[in-house]
Structure 1
Amino acid sequence: MRKNVPPHSAASAPQEVRIIGGQWKRTRLPVAQSPGLRPTPSRVRETLFNWLGQRLDGWRCLDAFAGSGALGLEAASRGAAEVVLVEHDAALCRSLGITLAKLKATGVRVERGDGVAALAQRQGQGLDLVFLDPPFAEGGNEALFDEALRAARRAIGENGLIYLEAPRALSGDELAQRGLQLHRHGRAGQVAFHLLRVLAAE
């Protein structure tokens, strides 16, 4: 949910995002003022949940870089049984807590901390879906993306999925080195988005 962007762009950041499907459809979510915070656009979320099949009943999900919480709350709105929103920024965590209280989102919880560490703690837990939207930095922040993907791979189940936003499209070879393969992909402006699966055994 967070991109490192030029300072002038922060002023044009959306002040709210809207859940686009499920029980909280059309609910507006506030977007706190935070440098570089960029919620996933509605059209990208719509594409993603078309790929996922609209309903996520019973799924266990983790949003490792939650920001505004748009991805995780969209999953909860569509029936996910458990959603963890991990965010390191205290002000954003407070904002998320207020939103959850207003929604009475009992299946969602906010966890303040590091997204990669949160995934590492869930190694072998067989999560159904992990959202990864790490901060973009000059040069692409390659080390963080690598750590996040490897930790997410160990946290999801055999049929689990990883959604990744990145400043560039990842190749099949890059993904295979992390035990993953591309399921779907797209691009919105300067952001490449991917839906990944566990690499099938040959």
Structure 2
Amino acid sequence: MRKPTPRPATPKHGGQGQLRIIGGEWRSRRFAFPNGPSLRPTPDRVRETLFNWLAPYMEGARVLDPFAGSGALYLEALSRGASEALALDLNPDSVAALRGHLDTLRCGRGQLLQSDALRYLDTQSPSAFDVVFLDPPFNQGLLQPVCDLLENRGWLAPRAWVYTESENAPSALGLPGNWRLHREKKAGQVYYALWQRSAGETSDA
């Protein structure tokens, strides 16, 4: 008897070069993204946990994603009711792909810029965001300086939520002292955490 051909296992992020929106208006929609050397799309399971944490706060939120990459977090936030979202990325192919996805979805609430995150946050006029996703390339020392710019340059709402992915434990990141760790977990070698800003306290790390 001929044995059935086994089906290939599906990678955690929904397939190589492909992402899946998990919930909200565009639930189950799939989109391709260009591969990059440091691109690590947030796995479906981690995204589901994150957006469960953020569920009470997403509707009407203003969202910032300074290291958009595949756009998995950015598109998920828009699908789940963010009123507007700004994404930055240095890779022109990533930005072009995300623009195409927004056109396909007929979404006018998303803004995309090909820009260096640190330079943009340091030089542009700030606008306060309610939710920020920080998933920078690992081992480049980007997380602490971008957090300092967000806090010190006025990019955060008084009780903003900030999500981080890092190669180091949240307790070792040295983030602003008025950010309180709300939730944390680990998936493989990646630590992910949700922080909430307290506007009335000192911002010293």
**CA distance 1:149–1:45, change in 2 (3 Å):** same
2:181 and 2:196 mapped to 1: Cα distance?
6
Q: Which amino acid aligns with 1:174?
A: G
Distance in 2 separating the partners of 1:49 and 1:155: 21
- Comparing 30-39 with 67-76, greater Cα deviation is found at 30-39
Tell me which residue corresponds to 2:194.
195
TM-score when normalising by structure 1: 0.84
Q: Give the paired residue count.
A: 184
Taking structure 1 as reference, are residues 54 and 78 closer, same or farther at Cα in structure 2, changes over 3 Å only? farther
CA-CA distance at 1:33 after TM superposition: 2.1
Give the 3-state SS of the residue equivalent to 1:194 in structure 2.
strand
Cα 1:42–1:160 shift into 2, 3 Å: same
TM-superposed deviation, 1:176? 4.4
C-alpha distance in structure 2 between counterparts of 1:122 and 1:157, whole Å: 14
Q: Does residue 150 in structure 1 map to residue 148 in structure 2? A: yes
| C-alpha distance in 2 between matches for 1:46 and 1:83 | 19
Distance, in Å, in 1 between the alignment partners of 2:166 and 2:160 is 20
Measure, in 1, the Cα distance between the counterparts of 2:23 and 2:118: 28
1:162 equivalent in structure 2: 162
Q: CA offsets per residue over residues 142-182 of structure 1, 9 Å max, x none?
A: 3x2111111222311111111110001121782344x3221
Who is 1:182 aligned against? 181
1:71-90 aligned within 5 A:
71-90=73-92
State whether residues 55 and 78 of structure 1, in contact with CA within 8 Å, keep that contact through their aligned partners in structure 2.
Answer: no
1:134 aligns with 2:136: yes
Deviation of 1:117 after TM superposition, in Å, equals 2.8
- Give me the CA root mean square deviation: 1.9
Who is 1:27 aligned against?
29
| 2:8 aligned partner | none
Q: TM-score, normalised by structure 2?
A: 0.83
Structure 1: gaps of 5 or more residues:
1-12
User: Which residue identity does 2:163 align to in structure 1?
Assistant: Y
Which amino acid in 1 is paired with 2:66?
A: A
CA-CA distance at 1:60 after TM superposition: 0.5
| 8 Å contact from structure 2 (residues 180, 197) kept in 1 | yes
Deviation at residue 187 of structure 1 after TM alignment: 0.7
Question: Which of structure 1's runs of 4+ aligned residues deviate more than 6 A?
Answer: none
Match in the other structure for 1:63: 65
Q: Contact between 2:19 and 2:72, CA under 8 Å: does it hold in 1? A: yes
Structure 2, unpaired ranges of 5+: 1-14
What is the CA-CA distance between 1:126 and the residue it aligns to? 2.1
Aligned residues of 2:148 and 2:176 also touching (Cα < 8 A): no
The structure that has the greater radius of gyration is 2
Identical pairs, percent: 38
Larger RCO, structure (CA 8 Å, separation 6 or more): 1
Q: Distance in 2 between matches of 1:58 and 1:97?
A: 21
